[in-house]
A and B are shown apart, each in its own frame.
Chain A
Amino acid sequence: MRIASAIAVLIVGGLVGWFALSTNGPTTSFPVRLGLDLAGGTELIYRADTSSVITDKQGALDSLRDVIERRVNVFGVAEPLVQLERSSAVAGAQEDRLLVELPGVTDVKAAVDSIGQTPLLEFKLGKLVDGEMTFIDTGLTGRYLKNADLQFGAGTGGTLANEPVVVLTFTEEGARIFETLTRENTGETLAIFLDGAPISTPVIREAIPGGIATITGQFTPEEGRDLVQNLNFGALPVPIELVSSNTVGPTLGAGAYQAGLEAAAIGFLLVSLFMILWYRLPGLVSVVALVIYVLATVALIKFIPVTLTASGIAALIISIGMAVDANVLIFERMKEELRNGKDPRDAANIGFGRAWPAIRDGHLTMLISSIILFWLGTSVVKGFALVFGLGVIISLISAVFMSRLLLLAILPEKGSGTWRFLTGSGFRP
């Protein structure tokens, strides 16, 4: 039974290892996702100004993300990441942010310009106050735009012949808003704002059903074409402002990745060597458990997938140290029992039991720390916390479950001289 379960552990470990190692290379569907600090690339953080959004702020932000995502895809980046972030609850002012990660892009200016071309389209009601025109937000923005089209005036209905006309078609929801807006404000001015400036200020003559609006005048056919193109990629529902940019060159990133892997391998080797020399047979068993531990962590990193950063690799190496600690605790306890004259297998069993409360408390506090870090942290801290937390959980399983089963399978019930040596510790017999 105990041998069967040990073999089962080894087989499962082997399978996990096979998954971790066979899914490398360019064609795999489970690659290790590298953070920008390792892969090279640019990270941009924008602040979204949602102060003018009256209702459905989340909807506006979601559509902001979609628009930027489309725009970034046009830029031709392999695996861009566009996500919304909220400044943490502990910060003074609440801010909504947009995080844009562009792997492989190192030309910040080109990237910023490309995103900056996304037009901000707003419809505002013009009211005359003390002889001056003031504009009021209506909630109708580029978010409700389905598509834009360039047409040329036929010379009727107020347009000049061959004058470029941009025809905006709203989504269903947008059409409803537009209709209500024009019905309730007939006779007023409905200004169309592009990037904060009014480009057209027509007066509403009647309620407009059907969800189609036109912008006329003030541009050449070329400008009209560009505007239509940009609007079709999506118009911004809220203004954005660049607050942070971070670029890592590809050589620096690749070097860091290489060095990180090397350090991990060497660190693992040193630790393994120490464990085998000092703890002998149990040490060897724990190294086998550690190998499975590392492979399982890598497999999870690939499977979830966790984006690996330099701090993530450091977390992996430190968590190896933690996993070792659980084993050391158990072996030291086992040694005490052996010294008290217990047989090897008994000693192993009692050793595991005695070491458990300390392992549990230690791992739990570390797990709690990593959860808090993840919750409060920014991307660097999150990269560390996630790998560290995963490592702690797997370490718990590896030490208590794998080392134990393997060791119990190997150790005999009654110990003779050789077994005493093998289960002893220290650099001398």
Chain B
Amino acid sequence: MFVIKYRTFFFWLTGLILGVAIAALVFLGLPLSIDFTGGSLVEVEYVGERPDIVGLKEDVSSVPLGEISLRESGDKGVVLRTRTLSPEERDAVISALSQGGESPLTVMRSNSVGPSLGSELATKALYAIMAVTVVIVLYIAWAFRKVSRPVPSWGYGLVVVLMLAIDIIVPAGFFAILAHFTGAQADILFVVALLALLGYCVNDIIVIFDRIREHLKWNIEKELEEPFETTIGRSIDETMGRSINTSLTVVLALLAIYFWGPEVTRNFSLVILVGVVIGTFSSVCRSAPLLVPLAKMFKQKEA
């Protein structure tokens, strides 16, 4: 019953974390990668020692590209970001980076995205997140149709949407802070991470709601009078062990991806990691407790 008793505290804590995340998103911003904006990226690794980055910038500026960004990556590599390059320009850039063959290098990856393709992806990603959310809410409203008192079944859906919004905004805010310090950019994998989180978090909330559903049904069948608060408190306590253990196993798997997985999915696993921790917190300390004030609201309406 601990969580229910101190629910006001948890609501404030949520507000605080959410505030920080939103502030990070608004003031630091989410730097988008060329996946969404269009442009080119070339990453090379030098066979020998990496030439001085300032000198390299000058070498590259021999190719007329407009604004460029050149960053060191790893011990021996550099990453160049520019506007969308043609294959010829790309070859010219690589030759400039190798200083006319003086500093031999291998091209690790190069990526060119036309601007229209990028903006289409951004639209798609946004639609995907919205579509997943809507379908989940509909499904929950349907799955809980048999328990519509004291909270109507779409109320559960509403709580889920609120929680999912938090579960998406907080990791996104975290990424904005991460990006501010490391120069990371939100790419398509970042969106995948958010979508995976949606799936995970809704599952987490469902488990607790399922317990509430079970207790409510039982109470109706046996004609037991139990305060809604008690039902919810019991449900949270009973599912706590499972919630923590599941999060723990997923966190273990994610830590494995973070420490041993490929470079490409490193930020990806970190975003999901933050999301899973927040999501567990969401489902245990916020989702079900939020039903209590909601129930009161509906009771007042009926009275």
Q: Which residues does chain B contribute within 8 Å of A197, judged by CB atoms?
A: none
CB distance from A321 to the nearest CB of B (A): 4
Q: Which residues does chain A contribute within 8 Å of B111, judged by CB atoms?
A: 245-247
Residue of A37, A315, A324 with most chain B CB atoms under a 10 A cut-off:
A324
Q: How far is the CA of A90 from the CA of B126 in the complex (A)?
A: 10
CB distance from B298 to the nearest CB of A (A): 23
Q: Which residues does chain A contribute within 8 Å of B207, judged by CB atoms?
A: 329, 358, 362
The reply to whether B120 and A45 contact each other, CB–CB distance below 8 Å, is no
Please report which residues of chain B, range 82-135, place their CB below 8 angstroms from some CB of chain A when the two chains form the complex: 86-88, 90-91, 106-114, 116-117, 120-121, 123-124, 127-128, 131-132, 135
Contact string against B for A residues 309-335, beta-carbon threshold 8 Å, 1 for contact and 0 otherwise: 011011101101110110011001000
14 A–B contacts, CB within 8 A, in A order:
A246-B109, A247-B111, A259-B261, A266-B256, A271-B249, A271-B252, A271-B253, A313-B265, A317-B256, A324-B250, A361-B139, A366-B203, A372-B132, A388-B196
Q: Which residues does chain A contribute within 8 Å of B254, judged by CB atoms?
A: 267, 317-318, 321
Is B184 part of the binding interface, using a Cβ–Cβ cutoff of 8 Å? Answer: no
Asked if A310 meets B139 with Cβ closer than 8 Å, knowing A275-B249, A321-B253, the reply is: no
The reply to whether B199 and A366 contact each other, CB–CB distance below 8 Å, is yes
The reply to whether B143 and A361 contact each other, CB–CB distance below 8 Å, is yes
The reply to whether A259 and B123 contact each other, CB–CB distance below 8 Å, is no
Contact of A247 among B110, B200, B257 (CB under 8 A): B110
Interface range, B side: 35 or more
The reply to whether A244 and B117 contact each other, CB–CB distance below 8 Å, is yes
Asked if A380 meets B202 with Cβ closer than 8 Å, knowing A88-B124, A365-B139, the reply is: no
CB distance from B76 to the nearest CB of A (A): 12
CB distance from A35 to the nearest CB of B (A): 11
The reply to whether B262 and A267 contact each other, CB–CB distance below 8 Å, is no
Q: How far is the CA of A92 from the CA of B213 in the complex (A)?
A: 43
- Interface of A (DSSP majority class): helix
Is B248 part of the binding interface, using a Cβ–Cβ cutoff of 8 Å? Answer: yes
Asked if A256 meets B262 with Cβ closer than 8 Å, knowing A249-B107, A381-B192, the reply is: yes
Q: Which residues does chain B contribute within 8 Å of A167, judged by CB atoms?
A: none
Is A377 part of the binding interface, using a Cβ–Cβ cutoff of 8 Å? Answer: yes
The reply to whether B203 and A314 contact each other, CB–CB distance below 8 Å, is no
Q: How far is the CA of A93 from the CA of B109 in the complex (A)?
A: 30
Partner-binding segment picked from B1-9, B63-71, B175-183, B239-247? B239-247
Is A357 part of the binding interface, using a Cβ–Cβ cutoff of 8 Å? Answer: yes
Please report which residues of chain A, range 269-290, place their CB below 8 angstroms from some CB of chain B when the two chains form the complex: 270-271, 274-275, 278
Is A12 part of the binding interface, using a Cβ–Cβ cutoff of 8 Å? Answer: no
Q: Which residues does chain B contribute within 8 Å of A403, judged by CB atoms?
A: none
Interface range, A side: 35 or more
Contact string against B for A residues 103-114, beta-carbon threshold 8 Å, 1 for contact and 0 otherwise: 000101100110
The reply to whether A369 and B257 contact each other, CB–CB distance below 8 Å, is no
The reply to whether B107 and A384 contact each other, CB–CB distance below 8 Å, is no
The reply to whether A369 and B249 contact each other, CB–CB distance below 8 Å, is no
Contact string against B for A residues 34-48, beta-carbon threshold 8 Å, 1 for contact and 0 otherwise: 000100000001010
Q: A324-B246, A381-B128 are known contacts; what are 4 more A-B pairs with Cβ within 8 Å? A: A243-B114, A247-B107, A365-B136, A365-B206
The reply to whether A321 and B249 contact each other, CB–CB distance below 8 Å, is yes
CB distance from B289 to the nearest CB of A (A): 19
The reply to whether A270 and B124 contact each other, CB–CB distance below 8 Å, is no
Asked if A376 meets B131 with Cβ closer than 8 Å, knowing A322-B203, A362-B206, the reply is: yes
Q: Which residues does chain B contribute within 8 Å of A92, judged by CB atoms?
A: 120, 123
Is A251 part of the binding interface, using a Cβ–Cβ cutoff of 8 Å? Answer: yes
CB distance from B195 to the nearest CB of A (A): 6
Q: Which residues does chain B contribute within 8 Å of A361, judged by CB atoms?
A: 139-140, 143, 206, 210
